[in-house]
């Protein structure tokens, strides 16, 4: 951090954009007033794989209000320049309306553009498409995997063979959809060869680059705007086909076009957390000291792109053991491409590993927390690096105390409350946060207010607020005097808003920009004979409330306002930079948690109800405690969904998702979430960023599902090695 | 309080393409009747979908309703939901479309004091109805106590479900379903918050209902 007094950072402030959100004035992607905008609705393929034989758009075209129907029959050829950025996956990305092939159920086959939404919707239903349908391959457990990505240390086979205690466990994890409340939406408007796109994205820069690549435009011909994002959880990390469809449609009809995905279209128009089959073999001695593990990890990807995530990492570094082997295989299916979802990879792996640790603890008669303590590594055994900070032991201690872990009866099915079986469970969590190069611009105006810009996003964690806190302290201004702007690709460039990277990356750039501006002002003052600060060493000057003064002597100083006025400066400004983490890595940097759950399971019906949850986090410095608490609650609630409710179900006969709506794809509602508590350990991690943060958005969901599953086992004695854990599975 | 506005500029779609085909055949709407708080479409008289299509206009109706204290009369495509009327025609973007199927509650508004899913309510059914949206809740610059409580409790993150949560919360408090956190959770379970702010939403309702 800077030598500045910390007034805003660490204070439990309310959101700076709260008023906009509670009055309905925050504008999301579909809500911008592009003059004369018409509406577009996509027609989805109704087969899982095959070819379009014919597409009859006559009825649609004749429907009142319909302006145009675009399909592969009449779409212009799009350049689709190579773009290895923008979070595009290895492979060949889907090219909208460029041929007659259908790669998955729901793929866009046409778009209907009309003067009203009603006409576009009805028009889309009038497009008649005939297909040559093939049986799609959509079942992870039936299809042929790609070649594995391997990891090995020691000799896992021998280690397992020689282990006195062995477990061989296979877990199946259902597919999850992010389902942010705001459906993905795009408004596109062309002005000559330039296009402005209001788009629901977590990365305006990536979306800009992808649009530029698809239409073969220079990057500066594309501007992407999104000041508010109604949730993302990863679904906005890349530019999806519908955004291209909207831009194409707008170019064709020569009017701004608004395209909003229906909730149903969200299930195949954007990505998902892939389903997994994960076989874990563990070997330990009789005291629970781990000696070996083998991991065979299979997960879904599409037939046209290879999606991978950090699912291998926890198995390499969460616990100490000499022998590890891993094989991670993607399985190409006739589905659309997955995308990272909250706690990507780590959340899936942690369910398996943390459930298995609970199984081992039970088998050995060792307390689950004690088992984890016995296997706590002293360094990262995969990277052979020391930890920057790793305070899992404290997470266990604080969590056990605050949750009342000592009240847990280790014997399953031994605690009852009427018809309900009561159980307590816990799990550890880890997430390796992203850190990406980022820039920010800070400008201090003559009136003593400041504006700071960066092309980042706020999908809900509170980027507006927390970056304002960082900027306010570094500039020595009140929160009120600082405006932080984001969500415009014209602002200084940043990486994606995901992977818990934003505060470490963008925050560091903001801090740098604001520190520079403050130092410029201090320099002006101490070199100015007319300033009361003349001759004071620059390092001895701090700024508070817009007033520069000698540290420890508040009486001697002057305001930014008077300083800039005297120097006839309209503003001071600076570009801040964050270069990314040091390479090569000097230490192993990750955020950790211990999550605790108490559940009640109806003894006869198998119904699972969460009663209490607690998360204890080792996440470095917390910039904005009030908002950080909300994020933790959100991660826990997301984990409750993964554990007990969420499962995208595909009909393997035709590749159709049968529960592509919020009535059948169950997510937690208010009644599913009683008591939730979050504790962030005080501290900071100065390994890779000046703010001392580790990021919180992802780690808060990692381990939650395992904690709940372990509580279900403690309640019932039943080990459900699948997600979600449903009543049917428990009966 | 309510002011009478002339016919809004909302027009049904003109014919295919951008041709203006002159005055198209309009359907006739009879008097809207509200019975016991349930708004009944007052014998909307359709010329028949076939015929309307043939003449180049979608079936539409005139409807007069009060939105946030302002009386508005519009001719609206019969397929238009109250939510789309608010968002696409009245530029009241505060009511959100999350699922368009009554499953998420993001579109919750008050119709004659009752909370309803505006996505499942056809606009033409609302003759004479009083609609309150999130934009009509604050008193000038003074936030409604529940809006203020949402800010103070940080009862939201992305903010997309928030207008629906608040409108639903206003209804919940008015209905008297705030006797306990359990009761609030049950009666607020028609509004999904994917960011998972439920605990704080309950706190905001408790605070506003004066039980804290």
CB contact under 8 A, A182 and B92: no
Give tens-digit pLDDT for A410-449. 999 999 999 999 999 999 999 999 999 999 999 999 999 9
pTM for this prediction: 0.94
Residue A227 DSSP label: S
Cβ neighbours for A583, distance < 8 A, ≥ 6 positions apart: none
Other beta carbons within 10 Å of A220: 11
CB A636 within 8 A of CB A595: yes
Question: Are both B124 and B21 inside the same structural domain?
Answer: yes
Give tens-digit pLDDT for A253-295. 999 999 999 999 999 999 999 999 999 999 999 999 999 999 9
Closest residue in chain B to residue A635, using alpha carbons only: B196
Give tens-digit pLDDT for A203-228. 999 999 999 999 999 999 999 999 99
Query: Within 13 Å of residue A130, how many CA atoms lie on the same side as its CB?
Result: 3
Indicate the residue of A15, A25, A460 with minimum beta-carbon distance to B195: A460
CA angle A266, A272, A277 (to 5 degrees): 145
CA distance A167 to A623: 42
Assign residue B194 the CATH number of its domain. Answer: 1.10.150.120
Asked if the ipTM is above 0.90, the reply is yes
% of chain A at pLDDT higher than 90: 98
Q: How sure is the predictor about A1, in pLDDT bands with cuts at 50, 70 and 90?
A: low
Q: Is A423 on the interface with B (CB under 8 A)?
A: no
Question: Are both B99 and B158 inside the same structural domain?
Answer: no
Break chain B down into helix, strand, coil percent, rounded to 5. 30, 20, 50
Per the domain annotation, does B140 fall within a domain? no
Question: A624 CA to chain B: closest CA distance, Å?
Answer: 12
Q: How sure is the predictor about B47, in pLDDT bands with cuts at 50, 70 and 90?
A: very low
Q: Which of A365-369, A695-699, B58-62 has the lowest mean pLDDT?
A: B58-62
Q: Is B98 on the interface with A (CB under 8 A)?
A: yes
Q: Is A20 on the interface with B (CB under 8 A)?
A: yes
Question: Are both B28 and B123 inside the same structural domain?
Answer: yes
Closest residue in chain A to residue B104, using alpha carbons only: A662
Per the domain annotation, does B114 fall within a domain? no
Q: In the prediction, which pLDDT does A2 show? A: 61
Catalytic residues of A: 698
Question: A295 CA to chain B: closest CA distance, Å?
Answer: 32
Give tens-digit pLDDT for A144-178. 999 999 999 999 999 999 999 999 999 999 999 99
CA distance A226 to A229: 7
CB A124 within 8 A of CB A249: no
Indicate the residue of A118, A230, A667 with minimum beta-carbon distance to B158: A230
Per the domain annotation, does B44 fall within a domain? yes
Question: Are both B101 and B22 inside the same structural domain?
Answer: yes
Question: B62 CA to chain A: closest CA distance, Å?
Answer: 16
CB A494 within 8 A of CB A506: yes
Q: How sure is the predictor about B58, in pLDDT bands with cuts at 50, 70 and 90?
A: confident
Average pLDDT over residues A567-593: 96
Per the domain annotation, does B112 fall within a domain? no
Q: In the prediction, which pLDDT does B17 show? A: 37
CB contact under 8 A, B160 and A119: no
Q: In the prediction, which pLDDT does B56 show? A: 58
One-letter-per-residue 3-state SS of A590-632: CEEEEEEEEEEEECCCCCEEEEEEEEEEECECCCCHHHHHHHH
- Supply the mean pLDDT for chain B: 81
Pairing of strands A276-284, A257-260: unpaired
Indicate the residue of A66, A228, A637 with minimum beta-carbon distance to B196: A637
CB contact under 8 A, A630 and B157: yes
Cβ neighbours for B157, distance < 8 A, ≥ 6 positions apart: A231, A460, A461, A462, A627, A630, A631, A634, B195, B196, B197
Q: In the prediction, which pLDDT does A168 show? A: 98
Q: With 60 as the cut, is the pLDDT of residue A710 above it?
A: yes
Q: In the prediction, which pLDDT does B25 show? A: 33
Q: Is A518 on the interface with B (CB under 8 A)?
A: no
Q: How far is CA A487 from CA A190, A499, A643, A677, in A?
A: 19, 18, 33, 31
Assign residue B127 the CATH number of its domain. Answer: 3.10.20.30
- Structural domain count, chain B: 2
Q: Is A343 on the interface with B (CB under 8 A)?
A: no
Q: Which B positions 111-140 lie with beta carbon below 8 A of chain A?
A: 133-135, 137-138
Q: Is B54 on the interface with A (CB under 8 A)?
A: no
Cβ neighbours for B147, distance < 8 A, ≥ 6 positions apart: A22, A23, B137, B138, B166
Question: Are both B124 and B155 inside the same structural domain?
Answer: no
CA distance A289 to A43: 56
Question: Are both B31 and B125 inside the same structural domain?
Answer: yes
Continuous segment of H or E residues that includes residue A278: strand A276-284
Q: With 80 as the cut, is the pLDDT of residue B36 above it?
A: no
CB contact under 8 A, A24 and B163: yes
Question: Are both B125 and B169 inside the same structural domain?
Answer: no
What are the domain boundaries of chain A? 18-26+436-578, 30-136+178-269, 379-434+587-730
More confident residue, B70 or B12: B70
Per the domain annotation, does B191 fall within a domain? yes
Token digits of residue A244: 């291209």
Q: Is B94 on the interface with A (CB under 8 A)?
A: yes
Question: Are both B94 and B33 inside the same structural domain?
Answer: yes
SS3 category, B118: helix
Say which CATH topology domain A18-26+436-578 has.
Aldehyde Oxidoreductase; domain 4 (3.30.365)
Residues from chain A that touch B88, judged by Cβ atoms under 8 A, are: 116-117
% of chain A at pLDDT higher than 70: 100
Say which CATH topology domain A30-136+178-269 has.
Aldehyde Oxidoreductase; domain 4 (3.30.365)
Q: In the prediction, which pLDDT does B20 show? A: 36
Give tens-digit pLDDT for A344-372. 999 999 999 999 999 999 999 999 999 99
Say which CATH topology domain A379-434+587-730 has.
Aldehyde Oxidoreductase; domain 4 (3.30.365)
For residue B34, the enclosing domain spans 3-106+119-133
Q: How sure is the predictor about B41, in pLDDT bands with cuts at 50, 70 and 90?
A: very low
More confident residue, B211 or A376: A376
Q: With 90 as the cut, is the pLDDT of residue A691 above it?
A: yes
CB A257 within 8 A of CB A40: yes
Q: With 50 as the cut, is the pLDDT of residue B39 above it?
A: no
């Amino acid at each position: 951090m800077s030598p500045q007094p910390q007034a805003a950072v660490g204070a439990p402030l309310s959101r700076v954009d709260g008023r906009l959100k509670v009055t309905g004035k925050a504008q999301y992607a579909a809500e911008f007033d592009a003059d004369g905008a018409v509406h577009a609705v996509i027609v989805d393929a109704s087969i899982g794989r095959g070819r379009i034989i014919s597409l009859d758009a006559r009825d649609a075209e004749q429907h009142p209000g319909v302006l145009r129907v675009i399909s592969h029959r009449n779409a212009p050829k799009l350049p689709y320049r190579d773009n290895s950025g923008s979070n595009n996956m290895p492979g060949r990305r889907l090219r909208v309306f460029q041929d007659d092939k259908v790669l998955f159920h729901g793929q866009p086959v046409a778009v209907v553009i009309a003067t009203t939404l009603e006409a576009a919707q009805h028009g889309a239903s009038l497009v008649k498409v005939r297909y040559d349908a093939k049986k799609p391959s959509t079942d992870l457990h039936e299809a042929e995997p790609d070649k594995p990505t391997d990891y090995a240390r020691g000799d896992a086979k021998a280690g397992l063979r020689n282990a006195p205690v062995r477990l061989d466990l296979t877990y199946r994890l259902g597919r999850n959809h992010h389902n942010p409340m705001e459906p993905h939406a795009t408004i596109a408007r062309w002005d000559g060869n330039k296009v402005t796109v209001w788009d629901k994205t977590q990365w305006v820069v990536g979306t800009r680059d992808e649009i530029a690549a698809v239409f073969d435009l220079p990057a500066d011909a594309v501007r992407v705007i999104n000041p508010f994002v109604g949730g993302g959880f990863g679904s906005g990390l890349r530019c999806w086909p519908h955004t291209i469809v909207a831009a194409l449609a707008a170019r064709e009809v020569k009017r701004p076009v608004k395209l909003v995905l229906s909730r149903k279209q969200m299930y195949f128009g954007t990505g998902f957390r892939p389903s997994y089959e994960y076989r874990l073999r563990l070997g330990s001695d009789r005291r629970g000291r781990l000696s070996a593990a083998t991991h065979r990890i299979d997960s879904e990807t599409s037939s046209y792109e290879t999606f991978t995530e950090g699912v291998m990492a926890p198995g390499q570094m969460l616990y100490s053991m000499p022998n590890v082997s891993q094989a991670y295989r993607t399985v190409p299916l006739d589905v659309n491409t997955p995308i990272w979802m909250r706690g990507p990879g780590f959340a899936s792996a942690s369910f398996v590993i943390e459930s298995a640790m609970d199984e081992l603890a039970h088998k050995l008669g060792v307390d689950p927390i004690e088992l984890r303590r016995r296997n706590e590594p002293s360094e990262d055994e995969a990277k052979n690096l020391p930890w920057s900070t790793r305070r899992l032991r404290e997470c266990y201690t604080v969590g056990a105390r605050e949750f009342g872990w000592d009240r847990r009866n280790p014997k399953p099915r031994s605690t009852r409350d009427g018809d309900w079986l009561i159980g307590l469970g816990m799990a550890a969590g880890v997430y390796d946060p992203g850190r990406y190069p980022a820039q920010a611009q800070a400008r201090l105006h003559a009136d003593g207010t400041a504006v700071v810009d960066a092309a980042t996003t706020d999908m809900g964690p509170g980027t507006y607020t927390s970056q304002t806190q960082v900027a306010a302290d570094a500039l020595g201004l009140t929160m009120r005097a600082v405006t932080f702007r984001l969500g415009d690709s014209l602002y200084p460039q940043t990486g994606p808003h995901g992977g818990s990277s934003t505060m470490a990356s963008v925050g560091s750039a903001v801090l740098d920009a604001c520190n520079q501006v403050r130092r410029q002002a201090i320099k002006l003052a101490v070199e100015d004979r007319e300033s009361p600060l003349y001759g004071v060493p620059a390092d001895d000057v701090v700024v508070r409330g817009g007033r520069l003064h000698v540290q420890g002597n508040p009486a001697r100083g002057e305001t930014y306002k008077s300083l800039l006025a005297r120097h006839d400066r309209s503003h001071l400004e600076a570009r801040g930079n964050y270069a990314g983490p040091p390479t090569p890595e000097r230490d192993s940097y990750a955020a950790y948690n211990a999550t605790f759950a108490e559940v009640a399971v109806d003894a006869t019906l198998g119904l699972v109800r969460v009663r209490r949850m607690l998360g204890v986090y080792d996440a470095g410095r917390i910039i904005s405690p009030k908002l950080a608490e909300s994020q933790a609650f959100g991660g826990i609630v997301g984990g409750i969904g993964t554990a007990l409710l969420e499962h995208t179900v595909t009909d393997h006969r035709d590749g159709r998702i049968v529960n592509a709506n919020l009535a059948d794809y169950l997510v937690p509602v208010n009644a599913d979430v009683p008591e939730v508590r979050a504790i962030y350990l005080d501290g900071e991690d100065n390994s890779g960023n000046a703010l001392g943060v580790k990021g919180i958005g992802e780690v808060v969901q990692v381990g939650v599902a395992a904690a709940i599953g372990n509580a279900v086992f403690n309640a019932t004695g039943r080990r459900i090695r699948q997600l979600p854990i449903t009543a049917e599975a428990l009966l | 309080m309510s002011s009478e506005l002339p016919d809004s500029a909302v027009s049904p779609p003109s014919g295919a393409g951008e041709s203006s085909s002159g005055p198209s055949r309009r359907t006739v709407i009879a008097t809207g009747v509200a019975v016991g708080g349930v708004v009944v479409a007052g014998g909307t008289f359709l010329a028949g979908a076939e015929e309307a299509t043939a003449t180049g206009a979608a079936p539409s109706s005139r409807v007069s309703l009060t939105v946030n204290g302002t009386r508005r009369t519009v001719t609206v495509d019969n397929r238009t939901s109250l939510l789309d009327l608010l968002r696409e025609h009245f530029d009241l973007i505060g009511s959100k479309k999350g699922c368009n199927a009554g499953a998420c509650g993001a579109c919750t508004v008050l119709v004659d004091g009752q909370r309803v899913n505006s996505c499942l309510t056809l606009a033409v059914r609302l003759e004479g109805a009083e609609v309150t949206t999130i934009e009509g809740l604050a008193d000038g610059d003074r936030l409604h106590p529940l809006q203020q409580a949402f800010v103070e409790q940080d009862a939201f993150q992305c903010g997309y479900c928030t207008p629906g949560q608040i409108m639903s919360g206003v209804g919940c408090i008015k209905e008297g379903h705030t006797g306990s956190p359990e009761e609030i959770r049950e009666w607020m379970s028609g509004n999904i918050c994917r960011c998972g702010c439920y605990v704080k939403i309950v706190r905001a309702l408790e605070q506003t209902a004066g039980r804290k």
